[in-house]
Amino acid sequence: MEKRKQTFLGTGWGFPPTFRVELGGVEMLSDEKDIESSLDILLSTEVTERIMQPRYGCNLSPFVFEPLNVATQTMIEKIVKDAVTLNEPRIVAEQITIAYVPENGRINIKIEYSIITTNTRYNYVYPFYLNEATNLTR
């Protein structure tokens, strides 16, 4: 079995979990990729969905059919900022912006963040939209 390298920012399972024979276990993500995966999971999880962590998640589904006005944008930004602050201790969310993509009825939630331990800046874009009656990945 291959020895997994230790990283400064941590290592975690990829999502969805992928088991690989050549690795002798589950495929792992490290550093910035692990943070991006964590943000993706956080933003797609409803609060109370996780049994052992009832405060984990981000309640975005009620906004699917809401009009995209200033009040809705501000509320989404606040919900995302609070969720990231509470559940992702490796980063500081510096700015969250909402951009409407009219071609496919989607909003992009852009999170500009800094990694606390390295003071390195990154950004992450979460595409928020409704997949009707499907179980497709983004």
pLDDT digits (tens, 9 = 90+) for 89-122: 999 999 999 998 888 888 999 999 999 888 889 9
For every residue of 73-93, DSSP letters joined together read HHHHHHHHHHHHHHH-TTEEE
Query: What is the bridge-based pairing of β-strands 106-115 and 19-20?
Result: unpaired
Q: Which residues have CB under 8 Å from 108's CB, separation 6+?
A: 98, 99, 101, 125, 126, 127, 128
What global pTM score does this model have? 0.79
DSSP state, 32? H
Which range has the worst mean pLDDT, 9-13, 14-18, 76-80? Answer: 9-13
Asked if pLDDT for residue 7 goes beyond 50, the answer is yes
| Exposure string for 85-98, b = 16+ CB within 10 A, e = fewer | eebbebbebeebeb
Asked if pLDDT for residue 127 goes beyond 70, the answer is yes
pLDDT confidence bin for 28, thresholds 50/70/90? confident
Structure tokens at 35: 């943070």
Residue that has been written with the tokens 């399972």 in this structure: 13
